[in-house]
């Protein structure tokens, strides 16, 4: 029975009550712990739209469920507020970034509070607080002291729009800046770089142990891009040696030319021996002007120039082969030179075809005979390879490598992390360059090095950070202490020399604070350590981490810092996030991304005002599988509201004793809802509760069954269930009650197989209760392959549903 309600009448009341009683504060109890974490937001000026809370609703449900299941729960929230988004917003709106951040945080917090989330706000953190970034600086000092932070003068990505250097991870796949879309240039600049490559192997190997979506692990594997192969030396006729990196030493007999990268140093060292140097130099310059991304584009025609007067000797058969320079070989990968095997590598094949270079088949495919029209890139048996004929490619790799004195090596696509930005709104580096020509870390006792106030925080445009102009701040005097750190001080202890110095004026990238923030929630007020070791070892690692972005960047950087902190004994676990749940976004009703630009943004405040936070929460979880991207629908919202109105009227159906049907259904529902929450299958949990209420309205239910049902729903609709729980005579919060346990003998499910037809053709089946309603069945269908394959992009014109038998969808 529907019973309308005004959410406004009780939602705020309960939120205030929970806050007053502190029921969500994490305590230091002996219970089993669970650490549930959201990717913390940038407090942008636009506030939250209804897509943002989806992940927060999920962690809220999960953490409430765990609390009710007897766990001590840590579920904190904070702000990732340094970096370009906050700074660009501030510049555009002519306010200081700090003021803008404060205002935006307040707004975000208000919006989140409306949703009734169970965050422990006493643990709130903000990456721009000096008390927080003190520890970001401290970590940097440790990295520096372990030789993992260094200054580099290599050309880096420079964004002319944002006026700053960027890391590779900050670029779109077409080489533009992911923030402003400008074409990124290469500029030689002094930069701070972190040796993330040193951790590449461990980051790769430990991925296997993580309970993360496979596509995210794969994205990380590709980003790290480890290749195992060998370095092999080729002697030149001019006396020099060229070392190539190859993953296929087994194809050495088929190497019919060498290529050296046009932009590398090797070719320069040969300049006076190359007879056509003028031509080569012109080519070199043309290539340097090209973007790396264009050079790697396999669909583009390959270009190159033969180095006249230079030949190389193939070490395995003594053959003399030509040497080229070509744009498809990059100086930054491997050794910057390759042995080219046209018969077995596609790029070499295209190049050799264009320049009329010999192709020699040396690997026989097990199934097909190699033809002249394309390269055979697979493995097989060796041919045309002298004493190695008939060996398998795998075996030959090692043997040929040994024979020519090759050295097994690994190379990586991941580059060291360019860690400095020429912008204002970031953590200052705790670094002083002193007049003795040395670089010092600031004494940890003097942390934080606070960001000074400036009049103009816009980028200077000359490649320097705005901090460079604040001479008061930049110029320091002090001395070097026993630890080798720089102590800023006007007075000098006996035996020490007064030194002048300049502070580093670059700032850290926005990814710095987010690389370790989850540790600070454990012990947010500690001013002696980043986190107390005992507290850290109790709460680490994060058990469930939820977010919808950053497959590589944040999740790579945080794993790197965490492993480093593990090595220096600051954390007890080698990985930060055991389980990761990746969410699908919510699109606008028109199927586009929600954006001011399209005028299709839906504001959660408005929805809460209209139908209440509980309805919004239930709706977003019922939309479809959590990981799917789905468009917003008003009808869906109405459906969720109707369901809650029926819950509100459920007490009208109370009877003295349960019948068999409802009592067995209760236990099935308890089992299903618990398992579904554990597995982030919130949509099917909601549909199970809808099935329950259908039956309960028909058969009636006892008070204890009614209350058990309220508890199942409590994580999803915390306000309404609290209201009904209190009406039912309870003084304590429902959120501190125990989640019901099911009796296995009663929870045996009676499902039937229902055929799913699309335009009359059977496309799949689903198993569901024969009593499931059309709404519930449609929700089930959304988690199937049939949906992915046939329905996702189609529009459903008519639904014909015969309960327990068949579902026929007419689509266009």
Residues of this chain that interact with ligand ANZ (CB under 6 A) are 227, 229, 245-248, 251, 261, 328-330, 333-334, 336, 338-339, 341, 344-345, 411
Q: How far is the CB of 363 from ligand ANZ (least distance, A)?
A: 8
Give the start-end residues of each E strand in 520-657.
542-547, 577-582, 586-587, 630-631
Q: How far is the CB of 227 from ligand ANZ (least distance, A)?
A: 3
Q: Tokens 């499910």 map to which residue?
A: 749
Q: How far is CA 642 from the centre of its chain?
A: 36
How many Å apart are CA 359 and CA 375, to the nearest integer? 9
Q: How far is the CB of 315 from ligand ANZ (least distance, A)?
A: 14
- Do 417 and 194 touch, CB atoms closer than 8 A? yes
Length of the chain, please?
812
Residue nearer to ligand ANZ on the CB measure, 184 or 244: 244
Residue nearer to ligand ANZ on the CB measure, 118 or 263: 263
Residue nearer to ligand ANZ on the CB measure, 261 or 442: 261
Residue nearer to ligand ANZ on the CB measure, 247 or 663: 247
Q: How far is the CB of 317 from ligand ANZ (least distance, A)?
A: 15
Q: Decide: helix, strand or coil at residue 657.
A: coil
* CA angle, 622 then 687 then 602, to 5°: 15
How many Å apart are CA 173 and CA 156, to the nearest integer? 16
Residue nearer to ligand ANZ on the CB measure, 44 or 246: 246
How many Å apart are CA 767 and CA 774, to the nearest integer? 14
Residue nearer to ligand ANZ on the CB measure, 231 or 614: 231
Q: How far is the CB of 297 from ligand ANZ (least distance, A)?
A: 13
Residue nearer to ligand ANZ on the CB measure, 133 or 253: 253
Q: How far is the CB of 214 from ligand ANZ (least distance, A)?
A: 21
Contacts of residue 144, defined as CB under 8 A and 6 or more positions apart, other chains included, come to 431, 441
- Asked if the bond preceding 448 is cis, omega within 30° of 0, the reply is yes
Q: State how far the alpha carbon of 616 is from the alpha carbons of 183, 609, 620, in Å.
A: 41, 10, 6
Residue nearer to ligand ANZ on the CB measure, 250 or 614: 250
Phi, psi of 262 (to 5 degrees): -65, -35
Q: How far is the CB of 366 from ligand ANZ (least distance, A)?
A: 16
Q: State how far the alpha carbon of 29 is from the alpha carbons of 34, 63, 450, 734, in Å.
A: 12, 16, 36, 20
Residue nearer to ligand ANZ on the CB measure, 345 or 620: 345
Task: Give me the torsion for CA of 284, 288, 289, 293, rounded to 10°.
Answer: 130
Residue 30 has which token pair? 């002996």
Q: How far is the CB of 331 from ligand ANZ (least distance, A)?
A: 7
Q: How far is the CB of 295 from ligand ANZ (least distance, A)?
A: 9
How many Å apart are CA 795 and CA 810, to the nearest integer? 9
Per-residue DSSP letters for 156-217?
EEEETTTTEEE-GGGB-TTSBBTTT-PBPEEEE--EEEE-GGGGHHHHHHGGGG-B--HHHH
Q: How far is the CB of 304 from ligand ANZ (least distance, A)?
A: 12
Q: How far is the CB of 275 from ligand ANZ (least distance, A)?
A: 25
Residue nearer to ligand ANZ on the CB measure, 331 or 454: 331
Per-residue DSSP letters for 487-505?
EE-SS--TT---EEEEE--
Q: How far is the CB of 710 from ligand ANZ (least distance, A)?
A: 57
Q: How far is the CB of 189 from ligand ANZ (least distance, A)?
A: 23
Task: Give me the torsion for CA of 694, 699, 704, 708, rounded to 10°.
Answer: -20
Residue nearer to ligand ANZ on the CB measure, 205 or 209: 205
- Do 459 and 466 touch, CB atoms closer than 8 A? yes
Residue nearer to ligand ANZ on the CB measure, 364 or 705: 364
End-to-end distance of the chain based on CA atoms, in angstroms?
Answer: 36
Residue nearest to ligand ANZ (CB): 227
Residue nearer to ligand ANZ on the CB measure, 333 or 479: 333
Task: Give me the torsion for CA of 166, 171, 176, 177, rounded to 10°.
Answer: -50
Q: How far is the CB of 268 from ligand ANZ (least distance, A)?
A: 16
How many Å apart are CA 170 and CA 83, to the nearest integer? 12
How many Å apart are CA 272 and CA 338, to the nearest integer? 22
Give the start-end residues of each E strand in 280-336.
304-313, 320-326
Residue nearer to ligand ANZ on the CB measure, 78 or 334: 334
From the CA atom positions of the chain, what is the Rg in Å?
32
Residue nearer to ligand ANZ on the CB measure, 263 or 485: 263
Q: State how far the alpha carbon of 605 is from the alpha carbons of 79, 111, 115, 299, in Å.
A: 20, 7, 9, 49
Q: How far is the CB of 342 from ligand ANZ (least distance, A)?
A: 9
């Amino acid at each position: 029975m529907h019973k309308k309600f005004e959410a406004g009448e009780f939602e705020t009341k309960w939120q205030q009550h929970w806050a007053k009683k502190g029921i969500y504060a994490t305590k230091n109890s002996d219970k089993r712990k669970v650490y549930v974490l959201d990717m913390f937001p940038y407090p942008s000026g636009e506030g939250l739209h209804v897509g943002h809370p989806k992940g927060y609703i999920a962690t809220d449900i999960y953490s409430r469920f765990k609390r009710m299941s007897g766990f001590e729960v840590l579920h904190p929230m904070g702000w990732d507020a340094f970096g370009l988004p906050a700074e660009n917003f501030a510049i555009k709106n002519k306010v200081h970034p700090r003021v803008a951040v404060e205002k935006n945080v307040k707004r975000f917090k208000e919006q989140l509070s409306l949703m009734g989330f169970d965050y422990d706000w006493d643990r709130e953190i903000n990456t721009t607080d000096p008390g927080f970034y003190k520890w970001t600086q401290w970590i940097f000092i440790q990295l520096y002291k372990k030789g993992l932070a260094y200054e580099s003068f290599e050309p880096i990505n420079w964004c002319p729009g944002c006026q700053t250097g960027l890391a590779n991870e900050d670029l779109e796949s077409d080489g533009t800046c992911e923030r402003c879309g400008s074409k990124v240039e290469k500029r030689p600049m002094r930069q701070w770089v972190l040796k993330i490559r040193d951790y590449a192997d461990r980051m790769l190997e430990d991925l296997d142990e993580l309970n993360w979506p496979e596509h995210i692990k794969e994205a990380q594997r590709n980003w790290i891009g480890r290749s195992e192969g060998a370095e092999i030396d080729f002697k030149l006729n001019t006396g020099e040696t060229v070392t190539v990196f190859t993953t296929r030493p087994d194809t050495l007999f088929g190497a019919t030319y060498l290529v050296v990268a046009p932009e590398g140093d090797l070719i320069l060292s040969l300049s006076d021996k190359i007879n056509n140097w003028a031509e080569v130099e012109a080519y070199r310059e043309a290539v340097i002007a090209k973007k790396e991304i264009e050079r790697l584009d396999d669909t583009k025609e390959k270009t190159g120039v033969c180095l006249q007067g230079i030949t190389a000797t193939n070490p395995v058969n003594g053959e003399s082969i030509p040497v080229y320079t070509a744009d498809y070989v990059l100086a930054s990968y491997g050794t910057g030179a390759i042995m080219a095997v046209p018969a077995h590598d596609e790029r070499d094949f295209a190049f050799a075809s264009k320049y009329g270079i010999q192709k020699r088949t040396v690997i026989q495919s097990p199934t097909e005979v190699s033809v002249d029209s394309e390269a055979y890139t697979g493995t097989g048996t060796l041919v045309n390879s002298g004493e190695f004929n008939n060996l398998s490619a795998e075996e030959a790799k090692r043997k040929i490598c040994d024979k020519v004195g090759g050295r097994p090596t690994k190379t990586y696509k991941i580059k060291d992390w360019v860690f400095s930005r020429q912008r204002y709104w970031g953590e200052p580096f705790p670094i002083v360059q002193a007049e003795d020509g040395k670089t010092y870390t600031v004494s940890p006792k003097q942390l934080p090095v606070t960001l000074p106030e400036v009049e103009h925080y816009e980028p200077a445009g000359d490649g320097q950070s705005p901090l460079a102009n604040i001479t008061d701040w930049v110029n320091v005097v002090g001395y070097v202490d026993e630890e080798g750190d720089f102590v800023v001080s006007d007075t000098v202890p006996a035996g020490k020399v007064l030194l002048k110095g300049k502070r580093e004026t670059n700032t850290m990238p926005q990814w710095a604070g987010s690389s370790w923030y989850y540790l600070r929630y454990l012990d947010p007020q500690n001013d002696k350590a980043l986190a107390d070791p005992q507290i850290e070892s109790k709460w680490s690692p994060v058990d469930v981490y939820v977010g919808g972005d950053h497959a590589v960047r944040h999740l790579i950087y945080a794993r790197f810092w965490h492993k480093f902190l593990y090595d220096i004994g600051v954390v007890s676990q080698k990985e930060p996030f055991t389980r990761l749940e990746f969410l699908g976004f919510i699109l606008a009703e028109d199927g586009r991304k929600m954006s001011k630009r399209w005028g299709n943004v839906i504001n959660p405040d408005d929805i809460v005002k209209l139908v209440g936070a509980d309805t919004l929460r239930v709706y977003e979880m019922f939309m479809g599988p959590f990981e799917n991207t789905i468009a917003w629908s008003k009808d869906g919202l109405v459906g969720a509201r109707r369901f809650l109105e029926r819950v509100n009227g459920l007490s009208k159906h109370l009877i003295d004793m349960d019948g068999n049907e409802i009592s067995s259904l209760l236990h099935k529902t308890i089992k299903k809802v618990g398992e579904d929450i554990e597995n982030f299958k919130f949509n099917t949990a909601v549909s199970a509760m809808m099935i329950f209420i259908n039956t309960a309205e028909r058969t009636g239910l006892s008070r204890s069954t009614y209350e058990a049902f309220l508890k199942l729903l409590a994580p999803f609709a915390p306000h309404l269930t609290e209201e009904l729980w209190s009406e039912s005579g309870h003084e304590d919060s429902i959120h501190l009650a125990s989640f019901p346990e099911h009796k296995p003998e009663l929870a045996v499910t009676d499902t039937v197989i229902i055929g799913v037809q699309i335009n009359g053709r059977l496309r799949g089946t689903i198993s569901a209760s024969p009593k499931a309603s059309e709404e519930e069945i449609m929700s089930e269908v959304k988690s199937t392959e049939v949906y992915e394959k046939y329905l996702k992009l189609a529009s459903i014109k008519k639904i014909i549903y015969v309960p327990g038998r068949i579902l026929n969808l007419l689509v266009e």
